[in-house]
């Protein structure tokens, strides 16, 4: 088997006592691109954040494994070391820490002491990746996400994805707030990652992104659960008909969990 496997089993997640996820089951393998779609407020972003270990989310039930190792037992940094990556919807701004120092620390955190990436190699790789993502070179020396526009933040998330080369990446609304040109650039970066050692979970409520990044599997989330799964044709149908037919099929009136996703 090539690549890693992320298994999410019957995951229940609460925030401040309110249950948001109510039993999510999902398995992502190396080489696969999954899309999780659904209207706002159905729990998509909660799924992304909870798997990475966001401090506000409490796991009330269920299990998460990466290559058989218990993810929920791990600290956030250990989850990253195990191969997980989360491209965040709202990345933090960190004053005084340059983008490039941060990236180098992140890369070196995965390497043994004494085996740190050489500065030359790092700069070369960073330059090349920034070119591909059509990023301004001075962004390397700017403070991490500080004063970045929405589009710059998203590109910066993808820059990190490409430099860190995780086994499994979760992309949380990487398309939100992007114009069509930026969307194409970001998609180009993500597509470049595609190989049998890389699995990806794309969270979006627009089908638009999937025109550029073809998913192998598509899941629909409502009321904190995955209510329907299928192939790329499912995304196509959602684009044409919206979500109402699924709600009708399942007898759902309000698809939200009473909490913005």
Partner 1 sequence: MTVEISLGYDKEYVTKFSEGLNEPEWMKTLRLDALQQAERLPMPKPDKTKIDRWNFTKFTHDLRGEELSSLADLPNQIKDFVDQNKEEQNLFIQRDQRVAFASLSQSLKDKGVIFTDMNTAMREHSDLVEKYYMKDGIQVDEHRLTALHAALMNGGVFVYVPENVQVEEPLQAIFWQEDPEAALFNHVIVVADKNSSVTYVENYLSQNNEEEEAVTNILTEVFAHDNAKVSFGAVDNLGAGTTTYVNRRGVADRDAKIEWALGQMNDGYTISENYTYLMGENSLGDAKTVSVGRGSQKQNFTARIVHYGKASEGYILQHGVMKEKATAIFNGIGKIEHGASKSNAEQESRVLMLSKDARGDANPILLIDEDDVTAGHAASVGRVDPMQLFYLMSRGITQKEAERLVIHGFLAPVVKQLPIKAVKEQLTQVIERKVN
Binding site for partner 1 (CB under 8 A): 52-55, 75-77, 79-81, 85-86, 88, 91-92, 94-97, 101-102, 105-106, 109-110, 143, 160, 164
> Nearest distance from residue 71's CB to partner 1, in Å?
13
Which CB, 114 or 251, lies closer to partner 1?
114
Q: How far apart are CA 199 and CA 178, in angstroms?
A: 23
> Nearest distance from residue 209's CB to partner 1, in Å?
21
- Burial profile 234-261: b = 16 or more Cβ within 10 angstroms, e = fewer: bbeebeeeebeebbeeeeeeebbbebeb
Which CB, 198 or 243, lies closer to partner 1?
198
> Nearest distance from residue 86's CB to partner 1, in Å?
5
Which CB, 110 or 184, lies closer to partner 1?
110
> Nearest distance from residue 7's CB to partner 1, in Å?
20
> Nearest distance from residue 165's CB to partner 1, in Å?
11
- Burial profile 176-214: b = 16 or more Cβ within 10 angstroms, e = fewer: eebeeebbebbbebbeebeeeebbbbbbbbebebbebbe
Which CB, 101 or 134, lies closer to partner 1?
101
φ/ψ (deg, to 5) at 128 = -60, -45
φ/ψ (deg, to 5) at 161 = -55, -50
Which CB, 106 or 192, lies closer to partner 1?
106
């Amino acid at each position: 088997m090539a690549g890693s496997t992320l298994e999410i089993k019957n995951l229940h997640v609460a925030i401040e006592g309110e249950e948001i996820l109510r039993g999510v089951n999902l398995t992502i393998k190396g080489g696969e691109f999954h899309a999780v779609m659904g209207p706002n407020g159905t729990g998509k972003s909660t799924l992304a954040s909870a798997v990475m270990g966001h401090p506000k989310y409490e796991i009330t039930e269920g299990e998460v494994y990466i290559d058989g190792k218990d993810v929920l037992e791990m600290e956030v940094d250990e989850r990253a070391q195990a191969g997980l990556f989360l491209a965040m919807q709202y990345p933090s701004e960190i004053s005084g820490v340059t983008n490039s120092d941060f990236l180098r620390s992140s890369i070196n955190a995965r390497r043994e002491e004494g085996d740190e990436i050489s500065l030359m190699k790092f700069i070369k790789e960073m330059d090349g990746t920034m070119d591909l993502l059509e990023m301004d070179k001075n962004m390397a020396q700017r403070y991490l996400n500080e004063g970045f526009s929405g589009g710059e933040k998203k590109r910066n998330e993808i820059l990190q994805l490409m430099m860190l080369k995780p086994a499994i990446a979760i992309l949380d609304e990487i398309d939100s707030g992007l114009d069509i040109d930026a969307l194409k650039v970001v998609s180009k970066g993500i597509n470049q990652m595609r190989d049998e050692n890389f699995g990806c979970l794309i969270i979006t409520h627009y089908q638009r992104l999937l025109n550029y990044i073809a998913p192998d599997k598509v899941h629909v989330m409502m009321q904190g659960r995955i209510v329907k799964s299928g192939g790329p044709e499912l995304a196509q149908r959602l684009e044409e008909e919206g979500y109402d037919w699924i709600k009708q099929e399942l007898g759902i009136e309000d698809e939200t969990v009473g909490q913005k996703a």
